[in-house]
Chain A
């Protein structure tokens, strides 16, 4: 394996930066055949063979064999991270990792405390070196997270891919719920970060007192305290910046998503229940008040004009009473007397036809009903149905008989009657 110096690494990178950028798009895996094609695509005049280039990429640590398959490569992790930094395509450091950073910092504070107790300058310097590296890594991750949040927000805002609101909302909601809210809990609500950094600052303060006479250790401790203060300030700043960027977008997309979701839900409901059952007009209540029973001014004016100079004509003469009308009238008390006198009546319809031959059918039927009421005595019906051709119609009925109500209450037979026009 060839010796890799920074010069050879960066010279190769400079000469083949387009290939490396393209390769970064396949950072999670690329087959050897595709890689060879890619190399040939970017090959210029005097470029060595594709297979040589692949070997060179591997030797310089740009790519590595994929662990899961043969003839398959992936981008080496350190180079992938370098590229993501250069291309500002960051992956979020999860809150779990950030939390672990603070736990580790507590461990380092304990180690510094141990160095104070033992007055061990060598241990102190080693612990401070570790702490400095750790603090800087945290600061770097915090800044990268902020950059990732901002770049995601910009991408979602510009929406060049024309993603529907739901998709955009999912991206921002994920960022919000998976990263910003836990971070807010850690920084604002539970103050876990402050607690950890306070502990570290306290122990460094003690170290400063303990090693103030040591000219080699004291400046390192001072630098460590400054790093911790800067970390605290930068993490809060990054967090606030991320919130400022995401919160309005989150709200906007939540509303956009709700609009789209509401419209789709309404259409779905309509297809299931029908528009009428949704009762949208009542819910919206758009007024449609009509003036009812009121004259318009012009209509009223026109009417009054017609009344002006009105001369009433002679009233219509009242028509004289007709003889037939008088005959139609049957006094009930007279009728009752006639029925009572005629009892027993074997067939009510025949009796009515004989007794009131000129009465209209409607009157006769009312009288028939009165006879059926039972006020004159017991009422019975014949078993056999008969037809009556009376009053220009044919009636079908079981003959109704009327008998005086005797002490035994004798009644006629039969229990139904049919009456109709033929």
Chain B
């Protein structure tokens, strides 16, 4: 009786089909997605249970967005997006901008993107299969499909909260670099002290 009640509760979850369809396509659902975000947020436990039974891992990121983490059926396009973001972060830092604030608040124009300017960045982008401005725009469109960006007009776009997944990746990379550097010495030698 209890099981059947639970099953019925799971089947009655609001926007179930839309939520699943979005998540299985790699979409990151955040507040801007409206109803499906609210449905996930309100019934997080039930959704998590349901998806877990189906073999999917629903993640609720600390920045308040949801996605499926799937290390078996994953898209290779994320590698390209990662390269796109690495270049953007490095470029913003070199410009003296506050990276996190700028990424989250600035409206970016395609023509101002640094990715195809300069030989070094061009080489990285070539490795990611991007050689033209159209390819670059295609990456941004792909990012929009996954919920990382939002198109503002034909020339500009801005980032949405789920882009934190790639900022997190940068932090992971920094930790790896730190470990590699710290191998012969210790953190204290590097002059860093936790507050």
A interface with B by C-beta (< 8 Å): 159, 161-166, 173, 176-177, 181, 247, 250-251, 254-256, 258-267, 269-271, 274-276, 278, 280-290
Contacts and interface: CB of A to CB of B under 8 A. Distances in A.
Interface stretch (B8-16, B40-48, B93-101): B93-101
B59 to A, nearest CB: 9
B78 A263 contact: no
B86 A266 contact: yes
B70 A270 contact: no
Contact of A282 (B56, B74, B77): B74
A247 to B, nearest CB: 5
B82 interface: yes
A270 B129 CA distance: 13
A180 B170 CA distance: 29
Interface in B46-64: 56
Given A176-B193, A271-B123, A287-B25, A266 B71 contact: no
Interface stretch (B31-39, B153-161, B172-180): B172-180
A286 B89 CA distance: 21
Contacts of A177: 191-193
Interface centre among B23, B56, B96, B128 (most CB of A within 10 A): B96
A287 B72 CA distance: 8
Given A181-B193, A262-B172, A274-B127, A286 B96 contact: no
Contact of B26 (A176, A258, A278, A286): A286
Contacts of A286: 26, 67, 70, 74-75, 77-78, 146
A173 B90 contact: no
B73 interface: yes
A164 B96 contact: yes
A258 B174 contact: yes
A289 B24 contact: yes
B170 A267 contact: no
Contacts of A256: 93, 98-100
B167 interface: yes
Given A177-B193, A270-B124, A287-B67, A166 B146 contact: no
B85 to A, nearest CB: 7
B20 to A, nearest CB: 10
A275 B127 contact: yes
8 contacts: A159-B96, A164-B93, A165-B99, A250-B195, A262-B174, A263-B89, A281-B78, A287-B73
Contacts of A173: 191-192
Contacts, number: 158
A276 B127 CA distance: 9
Contacts of A285: 69-71, 74
A122 to B, nearest CB: 48
5 shortest interchain CB distances as A-B pairs: A162-B96, A262-B174, A260-B93, A262-B173, A262-B170
Given A282-B71, A287-B70, A263 B26 contact: no
B151 interface: no
Contacts of B171: 255, 258-259, 262
Nearest to B22: A287
B65 interface: no
A251 B70 contact: no
Interface in B102-154: 123-124, 127-128, 146
B53 to A, nearest CB: 15
A261 B177 contact: yes
Contacts of B169: 262, 266, 280, 283-284
A259 B99 contact: yes
Contacts of A162: 95-97
A288 B74 contact: yes
Contacts of B127: 270-271, 274-275
Interface centre among A159, A181, A275, A288 (most CB of B within 10 A): A288
Nearest to A243: B195
Contacts of A265: 173-174, 176-177
A160 to B, nearest CB: 9
B79 to A, nearest CB: 5
Given A165-B99, A263-B86, A271-B123, A281 B76 contact: yes
B170 A258 contact: yes
Contacts of A275: 79, 83, 127-128
Contact of B90 (A258, A260, A274, A276): A260
Contact of B93 (A166, A271, A280): A166
Interface centre among A177, A181, A286 (most CB of B within 10 A): A286
A316 to B, nearest CB: 44
Contacts of B97: 162
B82 A284 contact: yes
B19 interface: no
A260 B73 CA distance: 30
A287 B85 CA distance: 19
A257 to B, nearest CB: 8
Interface centre among B127, B174, B177 (most CB of A within 10 A): B174
B146 to A, nearest CB: 6
